[in-house]
Amino acid sequence: MSSHPRVTAEDFDAVLFDLDGVLTSTARVHSVCWKKMFDEFLRQRGADTGDAFVPFDPDGDYKRYVDGKPRYDGVRSFLESRGIELPDGDPDDPPSASSACGLGNRKDRLFNEVLNAEGAETYDGTIRWARALRGRGMKTAVVSSSKNCKSIMEAAGIEDLFDARMDGEIAQRLRIPGKPAPDTYLRAAEELGVRPERAVVVEDALSGVQAGRAGGFGLVIGVDRHGDAEALRENGADIVVTDLAEMLDE
């Protein structure tokens, strides 16, 4: 039997899931692609300016500046941490452009190459729990900063598990701020017709649990994939699990 509080239809009407790192193991792919893109950029910049090459840290830098945020926000956040100024550019910038959007698009191209080659694997415990929740009549949604959300869900074959999707493409179109702002989660709850205090947020990123806490949601569950339990709690998680199978009533 799980030692965590049960998520029941008596207490909650919906559960809102992050995608990368919660439903699918694509967070690892994102981290690898961010490192490859930034290291190439930093190495070339060092050659041009004479500055020492300090590689992108896929642990510290990724979690602190990039993970869970909209793509271009992640680029800006990391560049700011290094004191590097680049023009914002435009979302239509080619991946070769020396702009925040250009770098973001360069990373996106790398990610899609890996997704097309390898597909997207799901976390079995999360999928089983999501099916159990739906069996109890609860609503579910995916809330992701990724503009690749739809293609990842299709590659993983999990579109049928969710009543709503709020992702980076939709947020940009509707001009909704991304995580750590709570707006995407609040919009998903609104689409499901549920109040935030009657909804659960499930996140593996610090920016995501921050969003859940800021939105006044009834429960924020942190999923600890990389030994970040303490940081997840400090940033807003009410409880932390290593696998959402822990939430099953077994």
Structural domains of the chain sorted by starting position, each given as residue range(s) with its CATH number in brackets = 14-25+121-247 (3.40.50.1000), 28-118 (no CATH)
DSSP one-letter code for 139: E
How deeply is 52 buried, as exposed, middle or buried, from its count of CB atoms within 10 A (0-12, 13-18, 19+)?
Answer: exposed
The per-residue pLDDT for range 6-25, each reduced to its tens digit, is 899 999 999 999 999 999 99
Q: Is 163 a catalytic residue?
A: no
Measure the CA–CA gap between 88 and 98, rounded to whole angstroms: 9
pLDDT score of 1 more than 90? no
pLDDT score of 116 more than 90? no
The per-residue pLDDT for range 64-109, each reduced to its tens digit, is 999 989 999 999 999 999 999 999 999 999 999 999 999 999 999 9
Confidence of residue 119 (pLDDT cuts 50, 70, 90): confident
> Which of 11, 13, 20, 61 is an active site residue?
20
> Which of 11, 13, 18, 243 is an active site residue?
18
Q: Is 20 a catalytic residue?
A: yes
Rounded to a whole number of angstroms, the distance between the first and last alpha carbons of the chain is 5
**pTM recorded for the entire structure:** 0.84
